[in-house]
Amino acid sequence: MWMLSVRTTATPFLISLNLIVSTRNITVEIAKSTELQLHENGSDWSISTSSVKVKERNDTKDGITVSYTTASTVTKANLTFTNRQTLYSRPDGLKISYASDIAMKEMSVMVTPANAKTALIIENTEPIGESGTWNIAFDKYLDTDDAAIWPVKLVSFSLKPGEAGNSSGKILITEIKATYRASSSVNEISIENHSSDEVVTDEWYTLTGIRIQREYLSPGIYIRRRGNHTDKIIIR
């Protein structure tokens, strides 16, 4: 019989496998990320505006920078960043950070649970200044214990400039992250021998939440979703 022990760490998105092989024991160390950056490829995010004209946009390792001017009437002005990313592995929430040369008035996020026909808009209507971080806890707005809501899709987030009309500004989006608990949300792990000829309807994901077809699985550790049940699987 094989006996498997699992140890979880908080090292962001590094998978460290320490295999101590004897006739009975395998020890596996799984590094669990606490944050997942969602704008590593800034060009994946499209920008739409209302009463705002984008003058220049730059995507760098530091984030997404947008220079803009507002129309004469700024009451409805906003910048909306759209990507429609699916958030796998049940994150606890989102973290959005920005720095601007002019204060932002409002921020909002649009998400769509898997079991919803319409999107949910989460708003932060408090004045948020020229720079800041908005931490959004999903359990304040969603029944996160309901497996049917997962995976949640991040549709977009919007910022509303607080300056008067006919103004120029620049904003840098430094963080768009999904946040997770330091410990793994998957409590079971098992070992399987993989056969590419086997017919299954399960959903398979890497430990970083990227969906993958079963026929492309190489030996390693994956997350399998079967109905409302999720577990970690070692493929050998």
Tens of pLDDT, residues 74-120: 567 889 999 888 887 788 999 999 999 888 888 999 999 999 989 99
One DSSP character per residue, 36-47 reads EES-SSGGG-EE
What DSSP character marks residue 76?
T
Tens of pLDDT, residues 170-217: 999 999 998 887 544 444 445 555 454 554 578 888 877 778 877 777
pTM: 0.64
Residues 6 or more apart whose CB falls under 8 angstroms from that of 235 comprise 192, 194, 217, 218, 219, 220, 221, 222
Over range 129-154, report the average pLDDT. Answer: 90
Band of residue 168 on the pLDDT scale cut at 50, 70, 90: confident
pLDDT value for 201: 72
- Do 39 and 17 touch, CB atoms closer than 8 A? no
pLDDT value for 127: 66
Band of residue 142 on the pLDDT scale cut at 50, 70, 90: very high
pLDDT value for 140: 93
Tens of pLDDT, residues 31-85: 445 777 776 666 788 999 988 889 999 988 788 999 998 877 656 788 999 988 8
Measured distance CA(158)–CA(76) in Å, rounded: 12
Beta bridge partners of 86: 153
Amino acid making up residue 102: I
Strands (E), the chain: 3-9, 25-31, 35-37, 46-50, 52-60, 63-70, 78-87, 93-112, 120-124, 129-137, 152-161, 168-179, 189-192, 203-205, 211-212, 220-226, 229-235
Token pair recorded at residue 134: 């908005």
The listed range with the strongest mean pLDDT (17-21, 40-44, 160-164) is 160-164
> Residue 62's Cα: distance from chain center in Å?
17
pLDDT value for 126: 74
Model confidence at 121: pLDDT above 50: yes
